[in-house]
Amino acid sequence: MRNAEQTQNITRNRRGTRMGFLIFNHVMLNLFQHLFRSRNKFGVTLFVSFLIFNCLFTGCAKKKIVRPPEPVTTIEKQTEEPSLRGKEYKNVPQLATVYFDYDNATLRPDARNILAKNASWLKDNSDVEIIVEGHCDERGTTDYNIALGDRRAKSVRSYLMKLGIKGNRMATISYGEERPVDSGHDEAAWSKNRRADMLGRIPENVPKEILNDKVIKKKNPKK
């Protein structure tokens, strides 16, 4: 990006170039007018050629507008996931679990309704960070289920961002099939395990028992 001094130098050089063209045109015009008045056919031919050349390469050229350098703006990174190092997340009753269809990471209508309520609570409690945990049932390989759980967690996070929750408040992790809530081996159990849980990290200055309330009330500043 050009700075102010570079822009001034470029502008000064362009002005010098245009001034040179004007002087050259003035001298050549006087010379060819003299030839034309003397009825010199060779001079007339040169004069016409000069007019064509002058029109094509100088007279018809548009002046370039020198724009000032664009200001450098700092964009807050609100889409990056927060670091998990040294953080402890706990169950928050107000953040409900969402469930998925078999081998799918697409949010169902019921899941979207639940996330809308979760987003409303998160907006009221802007100091709370969350982690979205993606889970799967026991079917499929370990690696496949880890990847599927990751897609489910990121699907939830992405939808919450669309609802207005900043991305730097939400981390994701996948446990695949490692943490089932139901150890059964039928659809009734599997449907409970295909899920995304949301745990919260509560600020130290907020009493943990306040989680039973709808909103975490911030302490009033001392007057």
8 Å CB contact between 115 and 98: yes
Interval 45-87: pLDDT, tens: 666 666 666 655 555 445 556 565 544 433 445 578 878 777 8
Q: Please give the DSSP secondary-structure letter assigned to residue 186.
A: S
φ/ψ (deg, to 5) at 98: -115, 150
Q: Is CATH 3.30.1330.60 correct for 90-212?
A: yes
Most confident residue range from 14-23, 78-87, 128-137: 128-137
Q: Give the side-chain half-sphere CA count within 13 A for 150.
A: 6
Higher per-residue confidence, 142 vs 9: 142
Interval 135-193: pLDDT, tens: 999 999 999 999 999 999 999 999 999 999 999 999 999 999 999 999 999 999 999 99
Arithmetic mean of pLDDT over the chain:
78
Q: Give the side-chain half-sphere CA count within 13 A for 186.
A: 1
What is the reported pLDDT for 218?
41
Nearest to 115 by CA among 153, 67, 65: 153
Min mean pLDDT across 30-44, 114-128, 133-147 is at 30-44
What is the reported pLDDT for 211?
58
What is the reported pLDDT for 6?
55
Residue 16 tokens read as 């010098």
What is the reported pLDDT for 1?
45
Nearest to 95 by CA among 201, 194, 178, 166: 201
Q: What percent of the chain has pLDDT over 90?
A: 49
Higher per-residue confidence, 93 vs 60: 93
8 Å CB contact between 11 and 66: yes
What is the reported pLDDT for 186?
96
